[in-house]
A and B are shown apart, each in its own frame.
Chain A
């Protein structure tokens, strides 16, 4: 044959996905180093982003003061659910004494089931995996939860009970 077409230059994808099975599974030292460098850089950037996000969220963590309605109607040794700091966050208010109230986030620190107050044992109980929390400070008494329950700080202002902030499980 007179005219034979010039073999076109190999495209990048044909090197990466070579027809030859030996070549397609072969990794050059340079490719491997590039992969290591890029993944390390990505990991580093991800860590930086996490740190930055954490710092920013701490700075913005200003909690509103919200009146907890119906606290006075609560019998001693009983509990009621209220929402704090946003309407999506359920918290549990427990009246442990005539003038003593405690409140914790209702979200179990294990797998986010709703914890319930057990008047019989005077503790907060998660029914999913039997994680129990102390009513005094929210610490884990038993079960799988890794951290104490976040505590809602309460303040008596006249006749009203006001939620003024939250302390996370790690800090309490």
Chain B
């Protein structure tokens, strides 16, 4: 589906776990969900946010892979680890700024979201975007996203000094120029 883009809008997520269930039903990674549904601040709010692989232009996970197991296709999709190569070392898990890859120790294999490559490569929408009732995850042409949403779609993220550009877009408030994350903000410093 040429011109279609993936958009993540955490403000619309209702935490229904439909995406998690739909992802786990996929035949290529049976019973294991590749999508993360994160609780933002569980003691204080029920807010949740879905996290899929952002498919970075220069994927950090693949850069740090010592076994050359993570490849990015011509279409910009960063594939899940190649099974014969992956050694389950968890380098990608530690390196990914979005916390996407999952290592399954018993299989010695990393698996992550590959934007339902089996579906999107033949013109179908990713499973999570298909089932999301509030369209917090959507796979639509860029014009449609701009037309229907007030938020601004951004695909540039700043993690300290590292600038990451991605294929997947994140919906930000129109006032927010770019998503800037300081890791120090997320470090828990104990009860005060």
Contact = CB atoms under 8 A, between A and B. Distances in A.
A79 B63 CA distance: 71
A17 B161 contact: no
Interface residues of B, number: 16
Contact of B74 (A17, A19, A22): A22
B72 A21 contact: yes
Nearest to B56: A19
Give the dominant DSSP class at B's interface: loop
Interface in A17-33: 17, 19-22, 24
A172 B72 CA distance: 64
Contacts of A19: 58-59, 62-63, 70-72
B180 interface: yes
A52 B70 CA distance: 47
Interface string B20-54: 00000000000000000000000000000000000
Interface string B127-164: 00000000000000000000000000000001001110
Contacts of B74: 20-22
B68 interface: yes
Contacts of A22: 73-74
A61 interface: no
A100 to B, nearest CB: 65
A66 B72 CA distance: 71
A4 B158 CA distance: 9
Contacts of A5: 161-162
B73 A21 contact: yes
A127 to B, nearest CB: 44
A5 B68 CA distance: 24
Given A4-B161, A24-B71, 10 more contacts: A1-B158, A1-B161, A5-B161, A19-B63, A19-B70, A20-B74, A21-B71, A21-B73, A21-B74, A24-B68
